[in-house]
């Protein structure tokens, strides 16, 4: 076990923060922003300085360890949250005990955080444990809606756009007992895959190497998980924005397949490519979190076309965490795509219509890590070697003989799909049940017109306005299951089938 009693002296800044408290104000605006000086009367605050506290070794504890500690009574959710809050105070905006530059990894904290943690503790005392994440705090990217908190995407223009409800992922995590800490910082409107700078909270800094890029656009999610500012986080990805922060911050970052986890309500960048996924300290924890949010959501934009894409490799019925128990690599055959790690294709001519012509540059240090990984995999009983794709196979969606015609990634379809998803996101966030369709439409358009990344072309496609009556009706926006969308995803399904057929022919697991 990693639980013990210890005097909290603050002498080890890499593990402990000082006793100084982090206040979360009751004022709707001031209480949400990390780093602002709160008024004297603000509440709640972390526990005041005491002679002795229970200290949890955050750097080694798994979700299972934490749950066992809570069951034994040696740790509470409130105590765990306070440990994270002290680290946030010490490292997120700077502190006299912190030798590093501020991480700027947090966008907004949940003003009800400590009360939510206390409620989790009360339920546990009553013998009620909601799920495997009961009492465990987490952060989500700033593009995720959380009830009664800003849905900003890091942009000041949307700072006062307060969501009426949780996203699907946040809702499912709450139902499993997890405690929402708030939102992690991100790149403005998820625009960069390498760095993360928002108008609201500034530039996210690496938890491990000063001056290094933390990855984007989910940089705050990666740094928050890597620096132990929370237990786990969620990021969003269009092209690298989960994997890059995971790689740069030493955490397990899972970029799932499209439609595997609902993106309902989350600010999009490129809807037909956007996914979300968990970032954790261990692979096992990642599987636990992944199972919680894996249920099908009928409101997910992906939902109508999932039957086109679900093939012979479904999600394990028992879940990832259970399936992984006792799982062995012995007898498995794995492949590393050679061109992705700096190796030239043995027959470059075959790459004319695929991604095999572009040999990715790989540093010697990275190549050394790949070689070490392959040695360890072989030691675990698996076969692993470099593989090269034939011309009929591609892992890049717009290349290869079976590539779709890019209907959803070319005008006017790209704008129409984006208009549909943006409209849905804003309607979900601020729509009022007591308003008429036209009243809600007017609110949506007013919000969409604020300075963000939503173009006037896309706004114009959201609704049609009857100049005579002033009434709004749905505009030119189209969903994934439109005729264009179905054609696009039928081609994507063929591309997926070709890749899996090649894997089967090669005997790859």
Do residues 169 and 436 make contact, with C-beta atoms less than 8 angstroms apart?
no
- 54: tokens are 């229970």
List 217, 221, 424, 482, catalytic entry: 217
Tokens of 37: 């000086």
409: DSSP letter: G
Return the biggest CA–CA distance within the chain: 74
d(CA 233, CA 221) in angstroms, rounded, equals: 6
Catalytic-residue membership of 455 = no
The partner residues of 280 in beta bridges, in order of sequence, read 252
Name the percent of the chain in helix, strand, coil, to the closest 5: 35, 10, 55
Burial class (CB in 10 A: 0-12, 13-18, 19+), 159: buried
Contact call for residues 119 and 52 (beta carbons, < 8 A): no
* Distance from C-alpha of 371 to C-alpha of 288, rounded to nearest angstrom: 29
C-alpha separations of 146 from 289, 377, 429 in Å = 18, 40, 9
Q: Can you say whether residue 329 is alpha, beta or left, with left for phi > 0 and alpha for psi between -120 and 50 degrees?
A: alpha
Q: Which helix (H) or strand (E) holds 279?
A: strand 275-280
Residue written as token pair 């729509």: 431
Where residue 182 falls (left for φ over 0; alpha for ψ -120 to 50; beta otherwise) is left
Judge whether 192 counts as a catalytic residue: no
Which one of 77, 93, 95, 141 is the catalytic residue?
141
CB 388 within 8 A of CB 356: yes
Q: Please tell me which residue in 191, 198, 241, 260 is annotated as part of the active site.
A: 241
Q: State the DSSP H helix or E strand holding residue 439, giving kind and residue range, or none if neither.
A: helix 437-448
Q: Count the helices and strands in the chain (H runs, E runs).
A: 14, 14
Q: Three-state SS across 362-379?
A: CCHHHHHHHHHHHHHHHH
Alpha helices in 98-154 (DSSP H): 113-125
Burial 26-38 (b: 16+ CB within 10 A, else e): eeeebbbbbbeeb
Between CA 191 and CA 196, with CA 194 as vertex, the angle to 5 degrees is 60
Is 60 an active-site residue?
Answer: no
Please compute Rg for the chain using Cα positions. 24
- d(C-alpha 123, C-alpha 399), whole Å: 53
Q: Point out the residues that are catalytic.
A: 141, 217, 241
């Amino acid at each position: 076990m990693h639980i013990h009693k210890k005097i909290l002296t603050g002498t080890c800044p890499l593990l402990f923060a000082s006793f100084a408290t982090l206040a979360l104000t009751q004022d709707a605006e001031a209480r949400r922003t990390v780093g602002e000086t709160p008024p004297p009367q603000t509440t709640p605050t972390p526990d005041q300085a005491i002679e002795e506290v229970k200290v949890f070794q955050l750097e080694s504890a798994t979700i299972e360890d934490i749950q066992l500690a809570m069951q034994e009574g040696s740790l509470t959710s409130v105590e765990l949250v306070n440990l994270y809050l002290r680290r946030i105070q010490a490292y997120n905006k700077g502190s006299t005990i912190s030798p590093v530059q501020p991480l700027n990894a947090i966008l907004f904290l949940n003003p009800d955080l400590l009360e939510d943690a206390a409620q989790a503790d009360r339920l546990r005392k009553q013998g009620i444990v909601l799920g495997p994440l009961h009492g465990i705090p987490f952060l989500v990217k700033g593009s995720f809606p959380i009830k009664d908190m800003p849905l900003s995407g890091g942009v000041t223009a949307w700072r006062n756009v307060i969501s009426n409800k949780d996203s699907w992922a946040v809702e499912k995590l709450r139902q499993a007992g997890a405690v929402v800490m708030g939102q992690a910082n991100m790149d403005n409107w998820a625009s960069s895959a390498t760095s993360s700078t928002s108008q609201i909270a500034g530039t996210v800094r690496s938890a491990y190497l000063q001056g290094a890029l933390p990855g984007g656009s989910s940089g705050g999610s990666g740094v928050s998980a890597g620096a132990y500012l929370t237990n786990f986080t969620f990021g969003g990805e269009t092209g690298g924005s989960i994997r890059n922060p995971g790689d740069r911050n030493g955490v397990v970052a899972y970029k799932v397949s499209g439609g595997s986890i609902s993106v309902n309500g989350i600010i999009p960048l490129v809807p037909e490519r956007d996914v979300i996924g968990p970032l954790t300290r261990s692979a096992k924890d990642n599987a636990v979190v992944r199972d919680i949010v894996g249920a099908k959501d009928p409101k997910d934009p992906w939902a109508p076309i999932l039957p086109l894409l679900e093939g012979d490799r479904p999600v394990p019925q028992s879940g990832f965490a259970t399936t992984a128990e006792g799982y062995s690599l012995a007898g498995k055959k794995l492949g590393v795509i050679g061109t992705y790690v700096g190796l030239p294709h043995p027959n470059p001519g075959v790459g004319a219509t695929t991604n095999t012509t572009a040999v990715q540059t790989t540093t010697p240090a990275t190549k050394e890590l790949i070689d070490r990984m392959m040695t360890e995999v072989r030691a675990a009983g698996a076969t692993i070697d470099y593989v090269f794709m034939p011309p009929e196979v591609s892992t890049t969606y717009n290349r290869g003989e079976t590539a779709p015609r890019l209907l959803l990634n070319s005008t006017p379809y790209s704008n129409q799909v984006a208009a549909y998803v943006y409209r849905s996101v804003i309607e979900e966030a601020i729509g009022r049940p007591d308003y008429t369709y036209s009243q809600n439409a007017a609110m949506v358009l007013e919000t969409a017109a604020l300075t963000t990344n939503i173009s006037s072309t896309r706004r114009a496609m959201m609704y049609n306005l009857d100049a005579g009556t002033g009434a709004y009706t749905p505009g030119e926006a189209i969903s994934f299951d439109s005729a264009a969308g179905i054609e696009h995803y039928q081609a994507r399904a063929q591309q997926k089938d070709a890749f899996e057929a090649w894997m089967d022919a090669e005997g790859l697991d």
